[in-house]
Amino acid sequence: MNGVALRTEGLTKDYGRGRHRALDGLDLEVRTGEVYGFLGPNGAGKTTTIRLLLDLLRPTAGRVEVLGRDPRRDGVEVRRRIGYLPGDLPVRGRDSAGDLLTFLGHLRGGVPAARVRALADRFELDLRRPLRELSKGNRQKVGIVQAFAHDPELLILDEPTSGLDPLQQQEFLRLVREARTAGRTVFMSSHVLGEVQEVADRAAVLRAGRLVAVEDVDTLRERAVHEVELHFDAPVPAAAFADLPDVRHVSVDGATVRAVVEGRADALVKAAARFTVLTVRSHEPDLEDAFLAHYASEEAGRRAA
C-alpha cells in the first residue's frame, strides 16, 4: 500500500500565444490507496493539472507519471485503469444517459450493466432521460456513474460534488470512502474545504498555478480560518484587541468586535474575557477567503524573511 499512484515533477503549463502560465512547477505525489484532495479557488489550475494527467493536455515543462507509466506514451493502458469525472459532462445529441453509459462502457471493452444500474439507482438517476434534458446535478450523476462503473484503480475527479444536493453529496462521499476501503486511489479536486476534510487523507493546496501546501487533512483543519463576532454589554476599547496573536482584521464598532482567527482562538477569547460577553458567533468562511488569509500571511512571512 505504499506505492505511488501518480506523481508530477515540475509540471508547468502555459496556454495560448499569450503564454499565460496556468500551472507553474507543480510537484505532487499521490500514494496508492489514499484519498487525496486537490484544493484551490477557481482558476487555480486544478482542471489544467487533471487534464495533463490524462494526456488531454501536453505539458510545457515537467514530468507526469500515472500508475507508474507515462500517460503520453502509454496513454491507452493508463486510461484503461482510470476513472475520470470531468468538470462538466458534455451533452450533445438525442442520446439517453443510458446510451452514453453503454457506449462509454464499450470503449472499455464492456462494463457490467448491473453495476451501472446499481450506481444509477444509488443516485436516483433515470437512465432513460435524454442527456440534454438533464440538470447540472443529474449530468454530474451520469459523470459519477461512468467514472466508477468499471471499478478503476485510480479515480481522477474534477470537482465531483458540484451541482449535487447535500444528500447526494453525502452519498458521493460514501462512494469515495468505499473505493478507498477497496484499495482504490482517489484524486479529487475541490474548492470546498469541508468535503475534502470529510473524506481525504491528505490535501494539496493550489493557488495561481503554484502549490502552496501539502498537508494532512487534520493539519489543514487546524489552519482553517474562522470569522468571529463578539457582542458585549457595553462599548469596548479598540486597543484591547490590537496586536493579538493569530487574530487579524479586527474591527471594533462600539459594543461589537469582528475579527478573523487563524489557528487558535485563545488570545481573542482571553482578551474578550476582560469584558462582559453577551454572544459569540463564529463561522467558517468559504475556501477562497480562508486561503487568501493563509497565503497572505505566508507571503508576508516570506517577504519578511
Partner 1 sequence: MLRSVLGKTLRDQRRSLLFWSLGFVAVTLIYVAPYRSFVEQGLLETRESAIYEAIGFDQTPAGYLRGTVFGLIGPLLLIMAATTYGARAIAGDEEDGTLDLLLAHPLSRARLVLERAGGLGAAVALLGAVLWAAVVTATRVADMGIPVARLTLAVLGLALLALTFGAVALALGAATGRRGLVVGVTAALAVASYVAFTFAPQVDALAFLEPLSPFTWYLGDNPLVGPPDALGLTLLVAVPLALCALAVAAFERRDIAV
Strand order in the sheet with 256-262: 247-253, 256-262, 225-232, 277-283
Q: Give the whole-angstrom CA distance, residue 75 versus residue 55.
A: 7
Closer CB to Mg ion, 71 or 86, in the complex:
86
Q: List, in sequence order, every residue forming a beta bridge with 47; answer none if it has no partner.
A: none
Mark 62-75 as b/e (b = at least 16 C-beta within 10 Å).
bebbbbeeebeeee
Residues 39-58 contacting ligand ADP, CB under 6 A:
40, 42-48
Closer CB to partner 1, 5 or 272, in the complex:
5
Q: Give the whole-angstrom CA distance, residue 167 versus residue 170.
A: 5
Nearest of 13, 5, 1 to residue 71 by alpha carbon: 5
Contact window for partner 1 (CB under 8 A) among 53-61, 164-172, 269-277, 290-298: 53-61
Select from ligand ADP, partner 1, Mg ion, none the partner in contact with residue 48, using the beta carbon and a kind-dependent cut-off of 5 to 8 Å. Answer: ligand ADP
Query: Measured in Å, how far apart are the chain's first and last C-alpha atoms?
Result: 39
> In a 3-state reduction of DSSP, which class is residue 231?
strand
Q: Does 47 bind partner 1 (CB under 8 A)?
A: yes
Contact window for partner 1 (CB under 8 A) among 74-82, 122-130, 176-184, 284-292: 74-82
Q: Give the whole-angstrom CA distance, residue 194 versus residue 116.
A: 28
Q: Does 103 bind partner 1 (CB under 8 A)?
A: yes
Select from partner 1, Mg ion, ligand ADP, none the partner in contact with residue 160, using the beta carbon and a kind-dependent cut-off of 5 to 8 Å. Answer: none
Site string for ligand ADP, 152-171 (x = CB under 6 A): --------------------
Select from partner 1, ligand ADP, Mg ion, none the partner in contact with residue 22, using the beta carbon and a kind-dependent cut-off of 5 to 8 Å. Answer: ligand ADP
Nearest of 26, 46, 300, 264 to residue 162 by alpha carbon: 46
Residues 37-76 contacting Mg ion, CB under 5 A:
46-47
Provide the minimum distance between the beta carbon of 119 and partner 1 in the complex, in angstroms, as a whole number: 17
Residues 73-92 contacting Mg ion, CB under 5 A:
87
Closer CB to Mg ion, 12 or 96, in the complex:
12
Q: Does 87 bind partner 1 (CB under 8 A)?
A: yes
Strands (E), the chain: 4-15, 20-31, 35-39, 61-66, 82-85, 154-158, 185-190, 202-207, 210-216, 225-232, 247-253, 256-262, 277-283
Closer CB to ligand ADP, 45 or 83, in the complex:
45
Q: Does 16 bind ligand ADP (CB under 6 A)?
A: yes
Strands (E), 107-246: 154-158, 185-190, 202-207, 210-216, 225-232
Q: Which residues contact partner 1 (rule: CB under 8 A)? A: 47, 51, 54-58, 75-77, 79-80, 82, 84, 86-90, 92-93, 95, 99, 102-104, 106-108, 146
The residues that touch ligand ADP, with contacts defined as CB under 6 A, are 15-16, 20, 22, 40, 42-48
